Chain A
Amino acid sequence: MATSEIKIKDPGIDPATGEFRVVAPELTFRSVTDKISHIVLTPHTPLGWLAIFGIAGGGATLLLVAVTWLFLKGVGIWAITQPVAWGFAIINFVWWIGIGHAGTLISAILLLFKQSWRNSISRFAEAMTIFAVVCAGMFPLIHVGRPWLGYWLFPLPFTMNVWPQFRSPLLWDVFAVSTYATISVVFWYVGMIPDFGTFRDRSQSKMGQYIYGMLSWGWRGSVRHWMRYETASLLLAGLATPLVLSVHTVISFDFAVAVLPGWHTTIFPPYFVAGAIYSGFAMVLTLAIPLRKFYHLESMVTERHIDNMGKVMLATGFIVAYGYGMEAFMAWYSASHWEAFMFWNRMFGPMGWSYWVLITCNLAIPLTTLWSRKLRTNIPFMFFISLVVNTGMWFERFVIVVTSLYRDFLPSAWGTYRATKWDYMTFIGTLGLFTALFLLFVRFLPMIPMNEVRMLLPGAKIKPKAAVEAGN
């Protein structure tokens, strides 16, 4: 966009580049540290935090009730039956894990591309990843019917000598998701070690010094340590990048390997990955916009971040649109009777409304409006868009799972799907659990990486040798 169109007087815009600033110009090393550590180290918990934590805790309690009842009665309390044997559990699993992917994209892929604007949002995006994976990982486990036998998924030496089947994508999933969870936690924790060191040194309470001291592993900021730390971060980013692409690819194999019209397509892996990033960026916005307002972090999470995330959503949204288009095209071009019927039924069958909700939320609203810079930097509008896209992406998974299954090959085997209250309680419960975990993170851990934000400040610039010599 040409610089002349932008009001250069806007304090958020850097006159040198015509772009929004990544961090506000008045920040110093100490003010960044004070601002972020104050959120955690203050003994006073904000009332608003307590209120939202109460509501989220209520949601998590719903989850506890729903899962307890599930364990007592079995998966029959859900709406799953023949022919729709995969219902909310799989929809929610794919939706949550997809949300997690944006966190890794921000923390790993954008690090490799040296997009330093990501520094201030990377930490809570990673936290979002981990809590989303926690919610996601629960669903397959409770969906297997006998969750107490969940350990059978792992290749453990049992006395009965039964081993897992390594040719199944469902088993690949076990390794993909467990690796993803582990690496995300490690990456997140390693990133926090220097910030724990800062908390240890700034905490006023004995307890805080002790706990953050232990968590920091005695970090003291030696440059030799920093260099190894930077190498390890880069390597972890380089490893997380192919990992994140593989995770949703493997999840899409769960569908694509089945010989079911609507699932059996080669477009699924890229289309799932793009959709994951699309919904994940929407979730980052859903979390970042209230957070920056509530904790007054506008100087570190600036309009630049909101604007850039809007652009990423626009790009991934179009990949998703291409996926939808290709599905429709292949339904016609394959000349398969079953494919064509499935697609017609998906659009105009009894559950056709869900397809149109998806098209409206994922394509019609965001992909027409995100082109405008004015709208991309309009904070309430972006919050609205983030909720719309999250809804749309949930419906995408609903459409893939339900509308591919409920019209079986023989009309005599046709069925329908209507979620029960236990399905809804479990889903709402995971939203509560996710929010509660995220609030605990915001209260007790550094939600913005202080060491990475310091690197963005003008004070971090090393003056060339000549200038230093002349200045003396």
Chain B
Amino acid sequence: MPAREGTYGLLAEFDTPSDLVRAARKAHQDGWRRLDCYTPYPVEEAAEAIGFHRNKVPLVTLIGGLMGGAAMFAMETWISVVAYPLNIAGRPTYSWPAFVVPAYEWTILWAGLSAAFGMLALNRLPALYHPLFNAPNFRDGATTDKFFLCLEALDPKFDLLETKQYLQSFAPVSVVEVEY
């Protein structure tokens, strides 16, 4: 269901990643901030061009991993010392070297799950509906062989006619208006 009415943005289509990167860099230099590129494979240069340098996935992963390791180690200690102490020939119940192995596995487990689901959450996925899917040429190209630059209507510089002309100056294959 559309969230809003009106125009989401203008979508310019390019044939090569170089054209896209050049256009995106220029748009970012000209002060555009509500913009995004859409590519069929990761194009690092395009992300750099629109000023997206860092992300929070490593932080989420680190926190997840530390929590996993701590949780398992604490559980092992509690089980072996408090809940179910086993006296095996008088050996210490807090035998921490043996606890390292499962704690290590859980560090990896939680870190991995945090990396994967953290990435999806930071990407605001799942998002089965998105206005861009309304563009006639988007679904045929964005996941196959075309490169798109979208200047969004939320940007204060946005003006339907002027922005259209501005995008035309990059010599794209086409510029289409995307509706919500």
Contacts and interface: CB of A to CB of B under 8 A. Distances in A.
A219 B122 CA distance: 13
A462 B21 contact: yes
B118 A232 contact: yes
Given A166-B79, A223-B46, A462-B21, A232 B115 contact: yes
Contact of A226 (B43, B86, B101, B128): B43
A460 B75 CA distance: 49
Contact of B47 (A28, A162, A182, A224): A224
Given A28-B145, A235-B61, A246 B105 contact: yes
Nearest to B15: A459
Interface in A153-181: 155, 161-167, 169, 171-172, 175-176, 179
A112 to B, nearest CB: 14
In the complex, which of the residues A162, A197, A242, A462 has the most CB atoms of chain B within 10 Å of its own CB atom? Answer: A462
Contacts of B142: 201, 220-221
Contact of B18 (A165, A172, A222, A468): A468
Interface string A32-60: 01000000000000000000000000000
Nearest to B50: A223
Nearest to B19: A468
Contacts of B111: 235, 239
Given A220-B142, A462-B18, A230 B42 contact: yes
Contacts of B38: 220-223
In the complex, which of the residues A29, A175, A202, A235 has the most CB atoms of chain B within 10 Å of its own CB atom? Answer: A235
A228 B40 contact: no
B115 A194 contact: no
Interface string B35-72: 01111111111110010100101100100010000001
Interface string B94-127: 0100110110111011011101101110110111
Contact of B106 (A175, A220, A232): A175
Given A172-B101, A201-B144, A164 B125 contact: no
Interface in A227-250: 227-232, 235-236, 239-240, 242-243, 246, 250
A376 to B, nearest CB: 30
A165 B108 contact: no
B140 A455 contact: no
Contact of B52 (A29, A166, A227): A227
A33 B80 CA distance: 54
Contacts of A30: 144-145
Contacts of B119: 190, 228-229, 231-232
A221 B109 contact: no
B132 A235 contact: no
A97 to B, nearest CB: 14
Contacts of B113: 182-183, 186
B76 A451 contact: no
B40 A221 contact: yes
B44 to A, nearest CB: 7
B112 A220 contact: no
B143 A221 contact: yes
A14 interface: no
A231 B57 contact: yes
Interface stretch (A210-218, A323-331, A399-407, A422-430): A210-218
A163 B83 contact: yes
B108 A242 contact: yes
A187 B112 contact: yes
Given A155-B75, A217-B126, A246-B105, A231 B40 contact: no
Interface residues of B, number: 68
A143 interface: no
B109 A179 contact: yes
Interface string A444-471: 0000001110110001101101001000
B133 A220 contact: yes
A200 B129 CA distance: 13
A225 B105 contact: no
A172 B142 CA distance: 45
B99 A218 contact: no
A218 B84 contact: no
A222 B21 contact: no
A224 B18 contact: no
B16 interface: yes
A239 B57 CA distance: 14
A223 B95 contact: no
A198 interface: yes
A125 B97 CA distance: 34
Nearest to A241: B108
Given A226-B43, A246-B104, A236 B144 contact: no
A454 B148 CA distance: 16
B36 A223 contact: yes
Nearest to B76: A166
B52 to A, nearest CB: 5
A235 B57 contact: yes
Contacts of A169: 101
A155 B128 contact: no
Given A221-B143, A463-B18, 7 more contacts: A164-B79, A166-B98, A218-B128, A220-B127, A226-B47, A236-B112, A246-B104
* 8 residue pairs, one from A and one from B, having the closest CB atoms: A29-B145, A232-B119, A217-B126, A226-B42, A163-B84, A454-B41, A198-B143, A167-B98
24 contacts: A161-B84, A163-B83, A172-B101, A175-B102, A179-B105, A179-B106, A183-B112, A186-B112, A197-B143, A201-B144, A217-B125, A220-B130, A220-B138, A223-B38, A223-B47, A223-B50, A224-B47, A225-B123, A225-B125, A231-B57, A239-B115, A242-B108, A459-B17, A460-B41
